[in-house]
Amino acid sequence: MPKSMIQRTLVLLKPDAIQRSLIGTILSRFEHAGLKIVAMKMVWVDKELSKKHYSEHINKDFYKYLESFITSGPLIAIVLEGIFAVEIVRKIVGSTEPKKALPGTIRGDFAHHAYDYANKAGIAIKNLIHASSSIEEAEKEVKLWFKEKEIHTYKTVHELHVF
């Protein structure tokens, strides 16, 4: 298999996923799909890291709600690796707006928030998880959240069936 098809992507289990005790349930979705966890840590995000992660949203009206939410409790940062990992993870996660997420996706099965509701309530949308939206974004985000020495290389049983 060409190495260029093997990708790494960032996933953040947001404070609502942690508070709802969905860590194992969510991680198993990725592992069952054959994606490999190559880095993982629990982080309590501060305002500085929030601004770096959400840099494209800082000047938008909803940023204050994003920052408030992402800094409200610990999250789990994960680097997943696999064939077309960015695209596969996005499919598993589902639409950013949980009300539009299909059943069978993480957001479709475990969340039901809507942008209209969040905007009227003056809060960030509770959608459990962040997943990099492109290869370029994944590369940038992985470097933001992890040092190279924190990312591991090892073989899984899935690799015997894929490569």
Cβ neighbours for 87, distance < 8 A, ≥ 6 positions apart = none
Per-residue pLDDT tens digits for 103-120: 999 999 999 999 999 999
* Residue 92 clears pLDDT 80, i.e. is over it: yes
Strand partners for 42: 76
Task: Grade residue 161 by pLDDT with cuts at 50, 70 and 90.
Answer: confident
Domains of the chain are 3-162 (3.30.70.141)
Mean pLDDT computed over 63-75: 96
Residues annotated as catalytic (active site), given as ranges = 130
Q: How far is CA 146 from CA 37, 43, 133, in A?
A: 13, 11, 18
Cα atoms found within 13 Å of the Cα of residue 86, Cβ hemisphere only: 16
Task: Grade residue 145 by pLDDT with cuts at 50, 70 and 90.
Answer: very high
Task: Grade residue 3 by pLDDT with cuts at 50, 70 and 90.
Answer: low
User: Which residue, among 124, 136, 128, 5, has the nearest Cα to 78 in the 3D structure?
Assistant: 128
Q: Which two tokens stand for residue 134?
A: 């492109």
* Residue 159 clears pLDDT 90, i.e. is over it: no
